[in-house]
Structure 1
Amino acid sequence: MIRSVGAGLCHFVVCDEVHHWVESNAGIYVWETLDRNVQKTAGAGSRLIETTNAFNPNEASIAQRTFDAAMEQGAKRILYDCREASGEVDFQDREAVMAAVAEAYGDSYWVDLGGIADAIQDPRTSTAVSYRFYLNRIQENADGWMTKEHWDLCLSEADPILPGDQIAVGFDGSIRGDATGIVGCRLRDGKLFLLGLWENPRTDPDWEVDVLAVEAAVERTFKTYRVEWMYADPPYWQEAIGRWSIEWEDRVFEYWTNKPTRMVNATERLRSAAAVQDVKHDGDSDIRRHVLNAVTREVPQGLLITKESPRSKKKIDLAVCSILAFEARADAIADGRMKIRRSRVVGF
């Protein structure tokens, strides 16, 4: 509800469900416009009220921005009021669930506590939904992209990757903050393996990725294996990727991960493959760590992966590399590059 007097002046604004107000649906823009107009007459008593459920910490919603401003950054003139269930809850324990629901809803006598408990214990209700929408709890890891069980079932220690194998490659580069990684994926069985990782150790404030080492690793990859297709995310590395595409013509391609429709499809391809063990990996601990660090972020096109929060130190760059490598494998196969040309042997 907005009551306004004069052009651009808001005296009382109610913003409902601001955990859904995100950049992709223009929620940030709308809120900032409303807030600026309220601030113009704040001295005269103008107010803006937000109501919300617990936010998803990887969506950067208005709810999250307000929480950060009030609780972590000490912003003035914000009254933040929240009631939530405390501690971890065993969702199989009816008594524990009822106690958590009662704690979260407090004196809201009109709420059907038993119905809420039923919804939480419904097997169709995810852990993330139970905590966020029924117990009002922020759960950073509740929306994990890949489960440990699915990933570990894809482990294949037999049939190691060998020099000369046909592979596809995924590359995700950075300079300082994030990691730079290269992941390979064997064409014939979809087996993922690490080709290079440069990760900020967080002990040196002046640390930067060793660009020459990355260049050398890419060259070594092409010399060691039969690289049929490489997808590389261009930011910070567009010049290098351009040179690689000239040196290894028709095998190196840009893949902009900030294009949601394409990236959503690639992300789902790898996750679905892992669920039915149609992808393999050699057990590399760094790839596993990055894959399990990734959480989902909903956009209009579907689900993307991201860090659990913008300031999280848990890296996911090798998960991005794995998505690109697996997508590159699919496109290489679709292009017919698994067909091996053999020299004709003539006997005398």
Structure 2
Amino acid sequence: MAIVEALGPVLPDGWDAAGQPVGKPWSEVRTPLVQIAAVSETQTKNTWSPLLEMLQGPVIDAYPGLEPLDTFVNLPRGRIEPITSSARTVKGNKPVFAVLDQTEEWVRSNRGNRLAETMRINAAKIGGTTIESPNAFIPGEGSVAEESAAFWAKIREGRARDDGLFYDHREAPPETDMTDRVSLVSGLSYTYGDSADRNGGHVDLDTIVATIWDPSTDPQTARADFLNQITHASDSWISQPEWAGVAAADKVVGRGEEIVLGFDGSRRRNRGVTDATALVGCRVSDGHLFLLGCWEQPDGPFGQDWQVPTIEVLAAVEDAFREYKVVGMYADPARWESHVARWEADHGRRLKLKSSVQHPIEWWMTGGRSNQIVRALEKFRSSVVDGELSHDGSSVLTRHILNSRRRESRSGIQIMKEHPDSPKKIDAAIAAVLAWQARVDAMAKGLGKKKTGKSGRVVVLR
């Protein structure tokens, strides 16, 4: 792609007589500069070395003046160059195309985030483009690759102001078992595609299997580097493969089915980013979780003075009670005490499952209930790991689940954000835990069982 951008007819230049698009090279508009960037010289060679190999051969005859050298490439007009310098050094360059290689390693400690920002700004000023070529990132490190994945998630959720990002992530199926050879080779064959020797390519999968099974290879690193799986931070509560393994986007919860609800609310904060408000449903019969709503503060200036749209939230709750047969609802009442009290007054009597006689919906996730909270969290996580629940694949719910971090308490493991003022929210995860706890309690009361007709005599008419 770097070579094509440097030499090929990549700019639109009208249409031919047959109505087909016509292109022209950058050299007809400006002197092209193509940059290959990484945060270390070793990383840059991953792209630079094959680029030099591709330039040896017929391309030199086709483009007189092309001169591939070890440290840069002279074009008939312009150049291709590798860079590993700081963002301050490259500021002001005008690349028509830039490769940002192995951006899972571009973090704030090595100024990778600043370098990426500078290169994107430089390219944007002249209508150029950039491409990232990372391995799977480790969540929580704040790498450029992680930020790009977060941007893509916002686009899919409709929370981004721009959608100018093409995102292609080929990841092994979440059920890939690294201890089973057949499963592992199947996952590797999918990830490597045409490059795998099983598919006629050059990558020896047997060597990769041996490397993965080497006791010195960290399993999380192996999943990221070979299976391209985005796994988890060291203190993650639930890993991405674990959560993806119970996704069931094809399941549909029909109108009138028995469900329970989990709710976690928030209000405007004087400092930091306002917590999200989330409503999650769970079908009682099979434990299928589905997101009914999540209200989050927009990023940047669009989120200034944002407040939770209380009317929308209340309407979503009422819609759930109308659409489904709600047999129970657990809600953390923090900052929503009056609304929870109203739900109890309006719906409490017809709920078959009640948190308590006095407060059928109220279920505190804070205060002096640490033992109950720890047990609820453990039940949820165990159900994910054991495949006892499923979810609708919502990117919002997934993001909140993966944002959740384990924290030790006197009573056991609880979950929190990575830090109190973090913009990475976990409220939908809390709502899901409450919905699952309600489902567990509902099953204990005998709810959710399929009704069967009474057996009777068979009368045969002759």
Q: TM-score range by the shorter chain?
A: 0.5 to 0.7
Deviations 1:317-338 (A, max 9, x none): 0000000000010111112222
The answer for the alignment partner of 1:201 in structure 2 is: 298
Structure 2 gap segments, 5+ residues each: 1-142, 144-214, 222-231, 269-273, 352-359, 455-462
Distance (Å, rounded) in 1 between the aligned partners of 2:381 and 2:216: 24
302 and 243 in structure 1: CA distance in 2 versus 1, 3 angstrom threshold: same
In structure 1, what residue type is equivalent to 2:295? W
Deviations 1:256-314 (A, max 9, x none): 10121111000011111110111100111100000001010100111011101122110
Distance (Å, rounded) in 1 between the aligned partners of 2:276 and 2:253: 24
Asked if residue 246 in structure 1 is aligned to residue 327 in structure 2, the reply is no
In structure 2, what residue type is equivalent to 1:183? V
**3-state SS, counterpart of residue 249 of structure 1:** helix
Higher relative contact order (CA 8 A, sep 6+): 1
Distance (Å, rounded) in 2 between the aligned partners of 1:125 and 1:310: 30
2:363 aligned to 255, 262, 279, which one?
255
Deviation at 1:157, TM superposition (A): 2.7
The answer for the alignment partner of 2:237 in structure 1 is: 145
Asked if residue 158 in structure 1 is aligned to residue 250 in structure 2, the reply is yes
Distance (Å, rounded) in 1 between the aligned partners of 2:441 and 2:383: 15
Distance (Å, rounded) in 2 between the aligned partners of 1:307 and 1:123: 29
Distance (Å, rounded) in 1 between the aligned partners of 2:404 and 2:322: 31
Q: Is the 8 A contact 1:171 1:181 kept in 2?
A: yes
Distance (Å, rounded) in 1 between the aligned partners of 2:449 and 2:383: 23
Deviations 1:164-213 (A, max 9, x none): 11111100000121000000011111111011111011333211001111
The answer for the alignment partner of 2:162 in structure 1 is: none
**3-state SS, counterpart of residue 294 of structure 2:** strand
The answer for the alignment partner of 1:186 in structure 2 is: 283
2:412 aligned to 302, 323, 329, which one?
302
TM-score of the superposition, structure 2-length normalised? 0.44
Distance (Å, rounded) in 1 between the aligned partners of 2:430 and 2:282: 13
Q: Is the 8 A contact 1:287 1:319 kept in 2?
A: yes
2:381 aligned to 255, 271, 277, which one?
271
Structure 1 gap segments, 5+ residues each: 1-87, 89-120, 128-139
Asked if residue 221 in structure 1 is aligned to residue 329 in structure 2, the reply is no
Distance (Å, rounded) in 2 between the aligned partners of 1:334 and 1:148: 30
Q: Specify the structure having the higher radius of gyration (Cα).
A: 2
Deviation at 1:228, TM superposition (A): 0.8
In structure 2, what residue type is equivalent to 1:255? W
In structure 2, what residue type is equivalent to 1:337? L
In structure 1, what residue type is equivalent to 2:261? V
The aligned runs of 1:1-348 (5 Å cut-off) are: 141-176=233-268, 177-202=274-299, 203-250=302-349, 251=351, 252-258=360-366, 259-339=369-449
Q: Is the 8 A contact 2:406 2:416 kept in 1?
A: yes
Q: Is the 8 A contact 1:141 1:308 kept in 2?
A: no
The answer for the alignment partner of 1:136 in structure 2 is: none
Q: How many matched pairs? A: 215
329 and 204 in structure 1: CA distance in 2 versus 1, 3 angstrom threshold: same
Distance (Å, rounded) in 1 between the aligned partners of 2:306 and 2:254: 33
Q: Is the 8 A contact 1:231 1:324 kept in 2?
A: yes
Distance (Å, rounded) in 1 between the aligned partners of 2:317 and 2:340: 10
Deviation at 1:125, TM superposition (A): 11
Distance (Å, rounded) in 2 between the aligned partners of 1:299 and 1:208: 31
TM-score of the superposition, structure 1-length normalised? 0.57
313 and 155 in structure 1: CA distance in 2 versus 1, 3 angstrom threshold: same
Distance (Å, rounded) in 1 between the aligned partners of 2:327 and 2:295: 24
